[in-house]
């Protein structure tokens, strides 16, 4: 996706370096995925373990 955005901007005349654009995108993606997994994992673990206790 970053490459497609880069290619489109360059075709319109922008002179953007690709590597900083890619690295910034990667850092944002890693940060957001870490926060989401930090928030969602306890919810799924609670649902799984609660369901597992009922079956035993």
Is the residue at 34 inside a domain?
yes
The residue segments making up the domain with residue 38 are 17-55
For 32, what's the count of Cα atoms within 13 Å in the CB-facing half-sphere?
A: 6
- Percentage of the residues of the chain whose pLDDT score is greater than 70: 89
Residue 47 confidence (pLDDT) above 70: yes
Is the residue at 22 inside a domain?
yes
Overall number of domains in the chain: 1
Is the residue at 8 inside a domain?
no
Q: What's the predicted TM-score (pTM) here?
A: 0.66
Q: Cα separation of 36 and 30, whole Å?
A: 10
Is the residue at 12 inside a domain?
no
Count of residues in the chain? 56
- 3-state SS, 2-51, equals HHHHHHHHHHCCCCCCHHHHHHHHHHHHHHHHHHHHHHHHHHHHHHHHHH
For the segment 5-15, the average pLDDT, to the nearest whole number, is 92
If pLDDT is split at 50, 70 and 90, which confidence band does 22 have? Answer: very high
């Amino acid at each position: 996706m970053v490459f497609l955005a880069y290619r489109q901007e360059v075709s319109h005349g922008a002179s953007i370096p690709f590597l900083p654009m890619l690295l910034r995108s990667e850092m944002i993606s890693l940060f957001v995925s870490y926060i989401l997994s930090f928030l969602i994992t306890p919810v799924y673990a609670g649902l799984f373990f609660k369901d597992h206790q009922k079956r035993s």
